[in-house]
């Protein structure tokens, strides 16, 4: 996260750094952004110098750029390769963009991050499977996810999670017949960390596939 004024801005809320274009360029350079990366710049007005310069510098270095702003035809949207306009009405409290513009931007960013998670294979049949159960809350959640996807009971799911070191995807592959946690991890790596093709690879290996998995899973999905 690159923010005008650096981490101190979270505490002081100083506005001056938003005009510091040199800081923006330096921050992008320090982050090492380049080809294969993407910078998302957000600004309610679409004219914040820091955000606009960050877009320009990232593009100059070969990174893809996305601009999110609440004013049509603003500098940020013109500079960005992908422009996202979130037109919001006048703020309930004049002089503050936190209610309308800020809320719209949070929703857009939530959508972007969720769709990215889906694209990367972190989601399977509506469940967040890219989960590492390392506290009480997550262990309970992970067990319920493993049980729902695999058709196993929650006690069995919890046991598989222990065996997998808390990794949900690995536990599901163990339920499907993977020989070990290491074997499951290797299958995931070969499948690009995506659970469905990993399960498909197991299914086509009759020596490893658990025939009950597919039947139970189909019933769970129904």
What is the tens place of the pLDDT at every residue in 178-188? 999 999 999 99
pLDDT digits (tens, 9 = 90+) for 16-70: 889 999 999 999 999 999 999 999 999 999 999 999 999 999 999 999 999 999 9
Question: Is 123-221 a CATH 1.20.210.10 domain?
Answer: no
pLDDT digits (tens, 9 = 90+) for 58-80: 999 999 999 999 999 999 999 99
Q: What is the pLDDT of residue 17?
A: 86
pLDDT over 60 (residue 205): yes
Q: What is the pLDDT of residue 87?
A: 95
Give the residue range(s) of CATH 1.10.8.1080 domains in the chain: 123-221
Question: What average pLDDT does range 195-221 have in this prediction?
Answer: 67
Q: What percent of the chain has pLDDT over 90?
A: 79
Element (H, E) at 82: strand 82-85
Structure tokens at 97: 């963009």
pLDDT over 60 (residue 161): yes
Q: What is the pLDDT of residue 115?
A: 95
pLDDT over 90 (residue 221): no
Q: What is the pLDDT of residue 209?
A: 59
Confidence of residue 107 (pLDDT cuts 50, 70, 90): very high
Just give the CATH number of 6-119: 3.40.50.10490
pLDDT over 70 (residue 216): no
Q: What is the pLDDT of residue 98?
A: 86
Give the residue range(s) of CATH 3.40.50.10490 domains in the chain: 6-119
pLDDT over 80 (residue 13): no
Mean predicted lDDT score pLDDT of the chain: 91
């Amino acid at each position: 996260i690159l923010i005008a004024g650096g981490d101190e801005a979270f505490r002081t809320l100083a506005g001056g750094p938003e005009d510091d274009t040199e800081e923006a360029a330096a921050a992008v350079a320090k982050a090492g952004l380049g080809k294969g990366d993407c910078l998302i710049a957000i600004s309610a007005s679409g004219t914040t110098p820091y955000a606009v310069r960050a877009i320009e510098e990232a593009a100059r270095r070969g990174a893809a750029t996305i601009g999110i702003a609440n004013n049509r035809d603003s500098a940020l949207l013109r500079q960005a390769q992908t422009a996202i306009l979130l037109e919001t009405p006048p703020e309930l409290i004049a002089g503050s963009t936190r209610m309308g513009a800020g809320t719209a931007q949070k929703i857009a960013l939530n959508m972007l991050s969720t769709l990215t998670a889906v694209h990367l294979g972190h989601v399977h049949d509506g469940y967040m499977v890219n989960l590492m159960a390392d506290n009480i809350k997550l262990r309970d959640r992970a067990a319920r996810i493993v049980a729902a996807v695999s058709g196993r009971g929650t006690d069995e799911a919890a046991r598989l999670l222990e065996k997998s070191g808390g990794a949900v995807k690995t536990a599901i592959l163990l339920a499907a017949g993977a020989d070990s946690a290491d074997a499951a991890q290797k299958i995931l790596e070969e499948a690009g960390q995506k659970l469905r093709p990993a399960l498909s690879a197991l299914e086509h290996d009759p020596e490893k596939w658990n025939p009950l998995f597919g039947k139970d899973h189909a019933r769970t999905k129904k």
